[in-house]
Amino acid sequence: MRYVGKRVLQAVLVLWGLITVIFFVLHLIPGDPVRAVLGGRASDATVQQVREQLGLDRPLPEQYLRFLTDIVQGNLGTSLALNDQVSHVLGQRLLPSILLIAYGMFFAVLIGVPLGIQAALRPNRAADHIIRLQTTFLFGMPTFWLALVLALLFGLVLGWFPVSGYQTGLGGILRSLTLPALTLGLSLVVIVTRTLRSNLIEVLKSEYIEAARSRGLSERRVIVKHALRNAAMPTLTILSTIIGYLIGSTVVLEQVFRIPGAGSLLVQSILRHDYQTVRAVALLSGLVVIAAGLSADLLQAILDPRVRLAR
Amino acid sequence: MSLLTVDSLRIEFGPTSNPLTAVDRVGFSIEAGEVVGLIGESGSGKSLTSRAIMRLVSYPGRITDGSIIFDGRSILEMSPRELRDFRARDVGMIFQDPFSSLNPVYRVGAQLAETLRVNAGLSRRAARNTAVELLDSVGIPDAPRRAMSYPHELSGGMRQRVMIAFATAAKPRLLLADEPTTALDVTTQKQILTLLSDMRHDNTMAMLLVSHDFGVIAQMCDRVVVMYGGRIVESGQILDVYESPRHPYTKTLLASVPHLEVGERGRRRLIPGGQPPQPGTIQQGCVFTPRCSQSREECTRVSMTLEPPDSLHQSACPFEPTSVEPMPLPLVIGGVT
């Protein structure tokens, strides 16, 4: 419990730091956001009026404090470009992105774990080399290119999945997210496979694995029950740290596959100079990264009793 | 017929075209209920030999020659199914390092119960109860509570007791003990050896005790097999080997054991010539030649066959032993080397 409390406190501190950074970064960007949104022909009076409306005329510490309290209350501000509450806009676009990342992770684990086990069981043999080559190749391909290839193959040639757009209903959502999620998953497979492989090789050398075999437990049981749980933990940590990379990938993928998610919202908002929304998306991405790290740590504490002893 | 017969065992590493031989032409037998010691320095191949009996030599090591017969069954020819049954029922193994031989993420009682469920087909509840009984039988106080502990919450001696509970759960006819007390302090060492002794008498279990410690071997074993550089250099009844070692290596090994009686004046004679050989290509002649104080020209041509055949006390050195001073049995358990 002490461990959990400590980790949660750390996460809150990091979050606070993140909010502060986001606040100042947007103030460092050259140009006047109000002018940018209103366009060059807006009168000085209008600009001044909007500035006051947004509180941009107040001193910096006061703006910061207001920003902080607004966030705590869940108020992300109003988008000038969309003339709507940012939280409302974001709420509509969030689900597809979250589903996309989760679905992509699912593919990465579904494909990566068996390959990692296979590679670890016979390291430096043909299968291991082929797996390494293939997964590295997939990782090396630019996301948009891999997305197009998959869309061409499974969407146009085979016609299994829609190439573009977002359907409704659970089946429709899953169908339309399959190709982007597969793209995401495939580019991640190498990370899952490589970390799992090296950790599994180490774990399989350990004496408790030999001891488990010496008791006549089946090889399957030895690997799945005794080795995998110990080897999975570093993989878990790495997966949680690449969440940031995944969020970046969704930006591209949502463009390619025309998914109305937070990633495409970000692109649109940047093009519209919609600072309120950009700020909210950035904040949310950071929040997701922090939450992922925290949950990986907590999961690790559940999986390995020794972690709970760490001070 | 012996319970276990190992014959001309060879274990190799490295490429098949140019293999490194770690164990070569090793052969010995264990009778039912007998305790045999396997002694040698690190790298002598003693641990590998004991693992080979369970077919636990892991990649890239491999058994390339010889046979291992347990109760009339050839272990090296067993199917995976037969091998699992053999490991589950006929033989148990305890390891050197009790800190790493238990899975850190499961409670010890659950690990023990898993084995009982899988191997003895017990129900969940029965397995849990039997696990606690087993922990109790190896002298773990407050066994029901200890069963709920994780390995890192137990002391080294406790963990080794847990390992013994694992290894003897199925009442095997043979127990392989690979340096079972090396990682423990002297007091715990004695307790564990006493426990092993009791277990073997209660269950009429044969035992192969692998150790580098002549004190441990002398206390526990009926017979001893001395290994050096992957070869057997001498074997015989424990007292015969102790009182009249025939191979120069055994002699120097015995002389390196510290004795209480000798006191401060006594100086240990160390084995000359540095390090034992690394696994390598098979060489002609005796493997001990480079370090042997009595080596002669013919040594590079001897075959290292154990002589005389059909004798209880055999040596791989064909030359007459030079006189040795009589060596008293050490009083301490576990040398302070």
Task: Give the distance, in angstroms, between the CA of residue A285 and the centroid of all CA atoms in the same chain.
Answer: 7
Within 8 A by CB and 6+ apart from A168, the residues are none
A131: closest CA of chain B, how far (Å): 20
Long-range contacts formed by A199-202: CB under 8 A, 24+ apart: A199/A230, A199/A231, A199/A232, A199/A233, A199/A234, A199/A235, A200/A116, A200/A117, A200/A120, A200/A227, A200/A228, A200/A231, A201/A120, A201/A123, A202/A231
Contact A216 B58 (CB under 8 A): no
Retrieve residue B228's tokens.
């050096």
The pTM of the whole model exceeds 0.90: no
The answer to whether residue B326 sits within a structural domain is yes
The answer to whether residue B3 sits within a structural domain is no
**With an 8 Å Cβ cutoff, is B103 touching chain A?**
yes
Pick from B51, B101, B152: which is nearest to A208 by CB?
B101
Q: Among B95, B105, B171, B208, pick the best mutation site for testing chain A contact (most A Cβ within 10 A).
A: B105
The pLDDT of residue B271: 57
The answer to whether residue B317 sits within a structural domain is yes
ipTM of the complex: 0.82
A192: closest CA of chain B, how far (Å): 21
A110: closest CA of chain B, how far (Å): 24
Strand partners, A116: none
Residue of A nearest to B57 (CA): A210
Residues of A with CB under 8 A from a CB of B: 122, 205-208, 210-219, 221, 225-226, 229-230, 303-306, 309
Produce one character per residue of B9-28: b if its CB has 16 or more CB atoms within 10 Å, e if not.
bbbbebeeeebbbbbbbbbb
Contacts of A219 in chain B (CB under 8 A): 80
**Single-letter residue type at B131:** A
Contacts of A216 in chain B (CB under 8 A): 84-89, 118-119
Rounded Cα distance between A195 and B94, Å, is 31
Residue of B nearest to A228 (CA): B105
Retrieve residue B172's tokens.
């095997």
Contact A230 B100 (CB under 8 A): no
The pLDDT of residue B334: 42
**With an 8 Å Cβ cutoff, is B221 touching chain A?**
no
Decide: B21 and B281 in contact? Cβ < 8 Å.
yes
The answer to whether residue B246 sits within a structural domain is yes
Number of other residues whose CB lies within 10 A of the CB of residue B66: 18
| Segment holding A175, helix H or strand E | helix A169-205
* CA dist list (Å): B86 to A66, A204, A217, B130: 72, 21, 11, 21
The answer to whether residue B212 sits within a structural domain is yes
Contact A214 B103 (CB under 8 A): no
Pick from A208, A216, A217: which is nearest to B102 by CB?
A208
Please choose, from the candidates B54, B32, B20, B322, the residue with its C-alpha nearest in 3D space to the C-alpha of residue B210: B54
Contact B104 A306 (CB under 8 A): yes
Contacts of A206 in chain B (CB under 8 A): 100
For chains A and B, count residue pairs whose Cβ atoms are closer than 8 Å: 73
Retrieve residue A239's tokens.
């997966």
Per the structure, the complete domain to which residue B297 belongs is given by 30-57+173-337
The answer to whether residue B293 sits within a structural domain is yes
Rounded Cα distance between B47 and B128, Å, is 32
Q: What is the CATH number of the domain that holds B192?
A: 3.40.50.300
Question: Are β-strands B62-70 and B174-178 bridged in parallel, bridged antiparallel, or unpaired?
Answer: unpaired
Please, what are the domains in chain A? 93-274 (1.10.3720.10)
Retrieve residue B100's tokens.
């790493």
**With an 8 Å Cβ cutoff, is B54 touching chain A?**
yes
Low-confidence residues of chain A: pLDDT under 70: 29-33, 36-37, 39-40, 310-311
- Write the burial class of residue B201 (CB in 10 Å: 0-12 exposed, 13-18 middle, 19+ buried): exposed
Whether the CA torsion B277, B280, B286, B290 is positive or negative: it is negative
**With an 8 Å Cβ cutoff, is B288 touching chain A?**
no
Decide: B162 and B102 in contact? Cβ < 8 Å.
yes
Q: Among A199, A203, A214, A307, pick the best mutation site for testing chain B contact (most B Cβ within 10 A).
A: A214
The answer to whether residue B111 sits within a structural domain is no
**With an 8 Å Cβ cutoff, is B82 touching chain A?**
no
The pLDDT of residue B326: 47
Contact B87 A229 (CB under 8 A): no
| Segment holding B314, helix H or strand E | strand B314-315
Please choose, from the candidates B21, B6, B23, B10, the residue with its C-alpha nearest in 3D space to the C-alpha of residue B64: B10
Retrieve residue B237's tokens.
């009844």
Decide: A254 and A165 in contact? Cβ < 8 Å.
no
Pick from A205, A215, A219: which is nearest to B166 by CB?
A215
- What total number of domains does chain B contain? 1
Within chain B, how many helices (H) and strands (E) appear? 10, 11
Contacts of A229 in chain B (CB under 8 A): 105
Whether the CA torsion B315, B318, B322, B323 is positive or negative: it is positive
Per-residue pLDDT of chain B (337 residues), as tens digits, is: 799 999 999 999 988 888 888 999 999 999 999 999 999 888 889 999 999 999 998 878 899 999 999 999 999 999 999 999 999 999 999 988 888 889 999 999 999 999 999 888 889 999 999 999 999 999 999 999 999 999 999 998 899 999 999 998 888 999 999 998 888 888 888 899 999 998 888 888 999 999 988 888 998 999 999 999 899 999 999 999 988 898 988 988 888 776 655 444 445 555 556 677 777 777 778 888 888 878 888 888 888 888 887 788 999 888 876 555 544 444 444 433 3
The pLDDT of residue B269: 53
Strand partners, A85: A78
Within 8 A by CB and 6+ apart from A1, the residues are none
The pLDDT of residue B55: 93
List the Cα angle B190/B193/B195 in 5-degree steps: 110
Contact B97 A207 (CB under 8 A): yes
B93: closest CA of chain A, how far (Å): 7
The answer to whether residue B85 sits within a structural domain is no
Residue of A nearest to B97 (CA): A207
Helix (H, G, I), strand (E, B) or coil at B12: strand
